[in-house]
Amino acid sequence: MTTLYVGNLPWNTTADELGEFFSSYGHVESSRIITDRETGRSRGFGFIEVGEEDAERMTQELNGKDFGGRPLTVNEAKPKQM
């Protein structure tokens, strides 16, 4: 599995909508939207887990693609810095 970072999401995007959008480009194992701990509102980005064979194609085809009127930022997620 490969985790992709998806940024510049519209604030009202749900994890299901994100997963559904990406699933037309390959198999999506899971999707999640990152929310603010205090307010519960979307922070405008999320992550999807996809098969390694789909990750590169999704990155190439979906980076910059319009989603809800905004150009997506899609790249391989970096490990969290401590």
- Encoding tokens for residue 53? 């064979």
Looking at residue 27, its amino acid is H
Average pLDDT of the segment spanning 42-57: 94
- pLDDT over 80 at 30, yes or no: yes
How would residue 82 be classed by pLDDT, with cut points 50, 70 and 90? low
- pLDDT over 90 at 78, yes or no: no
Under a CB-based contact definition with an 8 Å cutoff, are residues 70 and 8 in contact? yes
- Encoding tokens for residue 48? 């999807």
In a 3-state reduction of DSSP, which class is residue 8? coil
